[in-house]
Amino acid sequence: MIKLKGMYDSMLRCIISEDMDAVDFVKEFDEVRGKGKRFLPGAKVVLDFGARPLSEELIRDIMSDLVWSSGMYVAAWITYDAATQDLLKRIGLPTSEPAPSARTNERALGGTLLLQRSLRSGQRVEHAGDVIVAGHVNDGAEVLASGHVTVLGRLNGLVHAGNNGDETASVIARSMEALQVRIGTKIGSLDRDERWWGKMVIVRVSEGSVFIDYWPAVKSENRDENAG
Amino acid sequence: MTARVIVVTSGKGGVGKTTATANLAAALANMGKKVVAVDGDVGLRNLDVIMGLENRIVYTLIDALDGTCRLNQTFIRDKRIENLFMIPTAQSRTKDAVTAEQMIEVCDELRREFDYVLVDSPAGIEAGFRNSAAGADEALVVTTPEVSAVRDADRIIGLLESMNKSPIRLIVNRIRPHMVKKGDMLGVSDVLDILAIDLIGMVPDDEAVVTSSNKGEPLVLSSAPPAARAFRNIASRIAGSDVPFMNLELPDSGSLFGKIRRAIWGH
């Protein structure tokens, strides 16, 4: 089913449920257009498809049956399917969660994206702001954020914090199992036999290099016990 | 009759999709169910060879879609097992010969005549996979305990979830308990930890699989090989029986089964 919710900056979020059958799209679009007859024309809307991949045909249908016919202004097309994001970008459509206008610089307060799921291989989250993943980032999944990234589960995939060049951004993972972490313009790499592997760590840039340390910082004599 | 339509898929090639399809189809038929196995791998068909039915192909699925024959003319009845049928596909065409809509129609037509429709999907995440999965309600994901296969399975599970297949269940194939014990191979619990879906079976690595594939005799027809028992157990679980998982633990290795049990039942 399709849900409409309010967001910051008087934007609307149109959530197209991942488990909705593709054959129901036409019917559901009709319903949304009917319900939003009065407020949809000119409204800024984020279309949120979850992890659903979109085909070119489907994008065309969404354009004609939802976007143009309702008169909405689409601020972003959100899907976690990386191939779909690439397709949308190729057409020139915005795929990144819009940053809240008044609070762009206060990223810790403003545009934090809390993702309550695990990202599977081939899924990607791009966000202007901080990202918290309440799940795992599996091998082959990607998280790109202009701010900090915190992974409450296992980090196997690729995280790029501060992806517009901000090297004050950091990455925290509850279980660090990624061979590479990117911050700003720097790339840090890790081997499986290093002591941080599988531990709770913070990764950040200091004096131009990528550093990794246990998080929270522990006293050296307790370190191995606590970490193990 | 309304069949359950199940797609057998993996992402990565060579992990045992076709072998699993053939053996599960044979095992289900042996249990008295009416089963058809559909080769969804247009252009690289293998199911006919593994089921030992290649010399009896007259019409293929593509012929039926082109209107050259009726769908039921493509059925090849297995002579060894009653109630077991297969639908071959064309080797001379490509994945573009079928559309998702056609696969849905085919599956809906088969649904009326069978208890189980198993669709063997090609490797990959492109049209071939999408078409084979299009008509299915449920999915079986086959993986081996290797990092690359698990990553591909993860990708496929993400796609199956967004295609609304349910349940999506996991078969971990080609387990070598010796290597797991030495820490040279991922254990089933590691795989489950990453993929986070329900396990429906574990199949030990077994040379008998290779021999049976080459001979075209489904393994489940012979009683001895451990892999045969594993596939029969999976078939029973598909049919809804609560069969305990095989103990792939080596004598005196304590933890594998315990770990699996914890992963599955949470204690």
Quick one: three-class SS letters along chain B?
Answer: CCCEEEEEECCCCCCCHHHHHHHHHHHHHHCCCCEEEEECCCCCCCHHHHCCCHHHCCCCHHHHHHCCCCHHHCCEECCCCCCEEEECCCCCCCHHHCCHHHHHHHHHHHHCCCCEEEEECCCCCCHHHHHHHHCCCEEEEEECCCHHHHHHHHHHHHHHHHCCCCCEEEEEEEECHHHHHHCCCCCHHHHHHHHCCEEEEEEECCHHHHHHHHHCCCHHHCCCCHHHHHHHHHHHHHCCCCCCCCCCCCCCCCHHHHHHHHHHHCC
Examine the domain organization and report whether A147 and A67 are in the same domain: no
Report chain A's terminal Cα–Cα distance, integer Å. 45
Examine the domain organization and report whether A80 and A128 are in the same domain: no
Size of interface A-B (CB pairs under 8 A): 46
What average pLDDT score do residues B91-112 get?
A: 93
| Domain assignment of residue A96, yes or no | no
- Which CATH entry fits the domain spanning B4-265: 3.90.1150.10, 3.40.50.300, 3.30.70.890, 3.30.470.10? 3.40.50.300
| Domain assignment of residue A19, yes or no | yes
A18, B161: Cβ pair inside 8 Å?
A: yes
* % pLDDT > 70, chain A: 90
Residues of the domain holding A21:
2-91
- The count of structural domains within chain A is 2
| Domain assignment of residue A157, yes or no | yes
Nearest Cα residue in chain A from B157? A120
The per-residue pLDDT for B240 is 94
pLDDT digits (tens, 9 = 90+) for A183-213: 999 999 999 999 999 999 999 999 999 999 9
Examine the domain organization and report whether A87 and A117 are in the same domain: no
Examine the domain organization and report whether A207 and A118 are in the same domain: yes
What average pLDDT score do residues A152-175 get?
A: 96
Q: Does pLDDT of B253 surpass 50?
A: no
The per-residue pLDDT for B254 is 47
Q: Does pLDDT of A217 surpass 60?
A: yes
Q: Does pLDDT of B265 surpass 60?
A: no
Examine the domain organization and report whether A73 and A156 are in the same domain: no
State the best of B12, B159, B192, B193 to mutate against chain A, taking most chain A CBs within 10 Å. Answer: B159
A139, B151: Cβ pair inside 8 Å?
A: yes
pLDDT digits (tens, 9 = 90+) for B212-231: 988 888 888 887 889 999 99
| Domain assignment of residue A13, yes or no | yes
Reading the block at residue A188, the tokens are 């840090």
What average pLDDT score do residues B104-120 get?
A: 96
Exposure string over A200-228, b if 16+ CB within 10 A, otherwise e: bbbbbbeeeebebebbeeeeeeeeeeeee
Mean pLDDT for chain B overall = 91
- What is the pLDDT confidence band of residue B166, given thresholds at 50, 70 and 90? very high
Question: pTM for this structure?
Answer: 0.80
Examine the domain organization and report whether A177 and A127 are in the same domain: yes
Nearest Cα residue in chain B from A118? B196
Task: Give the closest of A18, A118, A138 to B162, CB-based.
Answer: A18
Mean pLDDT for chain A overall = 88
Reading the block at residue B238, the tokens are 């598909």
Question: Which residues of chain A have a Cβ shorter than 8 Å from any chain B Cβ?
Answer: 18-21, 50-53, 81, 118, 120-123, 136, 138-140, 156
Examine the domain organization and report whether A85 and A129 are in the same domain: no
Q: Does pLDDT of B2 surpass 90?
A: no
What average pLDDT score do residues B227-239 get?
A: 95
Q: Which residue type does B167 have?
A: P
What average pLDDT score do residues B119-125 get?
A: 95
The per-residue pLDDT for A88 is 95
This model of the complex carries an ipTM of: 0.77
| Domain assignment of residue A98, yes or no | no
Nearest Cα residue in chain B from A84? B159
| Domain assignment of residue A227, yes or no | no
The per-residue pLDDT for B237 is 97
The per-residue pLDDT for B258 is 53
| Domain assignment of residue A223, yes or no | no
The per-residue pLDDT for B96 is 87
Examine the domain organization and report whether A81 and A118 are in the same domain: no
pLDDT digits (tens, 9 = 90+) for A35-90: 888 889 989 999 999 989 999 999 999 999 999 999 999 999 999 999 999 999 99
Nearest Cα residue in chain B from A121? B155
Question: Tokens 């901000």 belong to which residue?
Answer: A166
| Domain assignment of residue A84, yes or no | yes
Which of A111 and A182 is assigned the larger pLDDT? A182
Examine the domain organization and report whether A83 and A126 are in the same domain: no
Distance from CA of B125 to the nearest CA of A (A): 11
Examine the domain organization and report whether A87 and A121 are in the same domain: no
- What is the pLDDT confidence band of residue B113, given thresholds at 50, 70 and 90? very high
